[in-house]
Amino acid sequence: MRVVQDIWPQLSQCTDIETKLTFYWLRAELLRRLGMFDEALDFAYIGEDLARQNKSHFSMFTFWTVLGTVYMQRNQMEQAESCFQTALSLKDKLSVTEQKSLNTAYARFAILQQQQQQKRIPEALELIDESIQSAKEHQDEPHLIQSLAIKGNILKAQGKDREAGEMYKKALTLAQKHQDRKREARLLFRLAECYENVDEQAFETASRDLFHAQKRLEKERSLLDEEL
């Protein structure tokens, strides 16, 4: 954030519009992550207006996604839904490469639908299925892991433990492939929860694997501490 603040006074002299838009997005996103939601909204709206004036559809999409996420974090669900719908309405105007970013919007919109009324669950599942399909088409396995896990969470919230377990297992296989230890441990925990009351043997296996995954994660953290 400090780097962005240091560069900001020079931004008015910048003639490249894409550079300006990138810094507006970066500042809005960093403010969002810091929990400074009012400031994040201000910069995102200014950036979106600048993007619209210059017909930069991808930047418009990214700003509406940030806005939707901020409103969701503030529990302003109607505003969040409107922002995500606006973002996704731009999908046909994005290039093939830019469409990889659709995964984030689909996933966050699905979470929003899940957090709202139970009757929105079918819509949430439809959105997360689109996110899964998009991640597969673009060979974006990190986002695919996230989307599969979110679908598992939605199914689990409905009491569909076996179906949720299948989603977690698919996500787990990919997490292990990428040696993502944090997600591996988190997914094994979810998997154990799914099997706890339906399959004792599978529950014991998942619990044992979780123990070993936690040990690997602790070992990696210890090695990192030693290097530091």
Rounded Cα distance between 51 and 166, Å, is 41
pLDDT given for residue 170 in this prediction: 95
Rounded Cα distance between 106 and 131, Å, is 5
Residue given tokens 């996110």 in the structure block:
131
The answer to whether residues 105 and 88 touch, using CB atoms and an 8 Å cutoff, is yes
SS3 54: coil
> What are the angstrom distances between the C-alpha of 153 and each of 81, 124, 201?
20, 11, 22
pLDDT given for residue 50 in this prediction: 93
**CATH code linked to domain 1-94:** 1.25.40.10
Domain boundaries, the chain: 1-94
Q: Could you report the per-residue pLDDT of 16-27, keeping only the tens digit for each? A: 888 888 888 888
Question: Higher model confidence: residue 138 or residue 219?
Answer: 138
CB neighbour list of residue 114: distance below 8 Å, 6 or more residues apart = 120, 121, 124, 153, 154, 157
Q: Could you report the per-residue pLDDT of 118-134, keeping only the tens digit for each? A: 557 787 788 889 889 98
Give mean pLDDT, residues 100-111.
74
Rounded Cα distance between 5 and 204, Å, is 51
The answer to whether residues 164 and 194 touch, using CB atoms and an 8 Å cutoff, is yes
0.75 surpassed by pTM: no
DSSP state of 128: H
Q: How far apart are the first and last CA of the chain?
A: 23
Closest CA to 70 of 80, 78, 61, 60: 80
pLDDT given for residue 226 in this prediction: 47
